[in-house]
Structure 1
Amino acid sequence: MSEIMDLALRVGQALQARRMLLATAESCTGGGVAQAVTDIAGSSEWFERGFVTYSNAAKTDMLGVPAILIQESGAVSEEVAAAMATGALSHSNAHVALSTTGIAGPGGAVPGKPVGTVCFGWALDGRTHTERIIFHGDRQEVRERTVQHALQGLLRFLGQT
């Protein structure tokens, strides 16, 4: 079993034990987190929905991320990751949400945000937690590491509840 599949299984078990539903809001992973969790049989018991908001307009239209926040902080920022996660909660029936926004490469780097920069958000019960990480590797490796970290982070976040 792959590490991502093992993490997705553990996420499912943690959510089921808490009778919680998950929503995802993804940009750079293009739905990779949602795919990982729905690869687990029975995930309909704990996965509510996924938003793939690749463009800035989609982040605003689907999740309610303020356009001014994206302009001021950049789409790849902890502020936008937090707004994506809370937006996923407010636009779903989920109890907990996670978000990913980043630069998977090979292009897209901007000053202060090299290729591999990814921001994460997790939201639950009015709390949000964010992280910014720089992963190394090619586009596929950055995306896989992002999915893995998003799931690991969710398990840590749930441990705080």
Structure 2
Amino acid sequence: MIDRSSGAPAWLDQLSRPELAPVSEVERMLAARRIAQARDEGRIVVPQAEARLSRAAAARTRAQLTASVSGVPDVAVPPPLLVLSRVAIALWVVATVAQVIVWLMIGLFSGDLDEWWWIWTPIGGLPVAAALYWTFEWNHAAGSRVDLGKGASE
């Protein structure tokens, strides 16, 4: 479940903080497979694998799921990508809100709201924000890919 303590709309929370997005059963299964592979290859010990598997099964957000597999290669999104995504989306939202406020103030004092010059920031920023978000999503999915045809105990 997405933490709504920030007061932001759910879509904005998920866009700006994708690590708080809910995880699916498939993502939990992929994480469990990754942990089982690490256990079978001897990269983690059995008690540690059991603890990680229980945390993965109980995970509700991507952050919790990532914490359960931390230390297992190719699972976590590189921090620079996550930071870049957050900064770009925050700048886009702040710039758009600031421009709308200035536009409204100009309209209030001049009585004229005819020109919608501020619209170019959301239109131009949307593809950038979407590209960063989908890059994050793609990277997250690519880091979790395993052969689903094999069982976790193999």
TM-score > 0.5, shorter chain as reference: no
| Structure with bigger gyration radius | 2
Greater relative contact order (Cα < 8 A, sep 6+): 2
Greater per-residue helix proportion: 2
TM-score using structure 2 length: 0.28
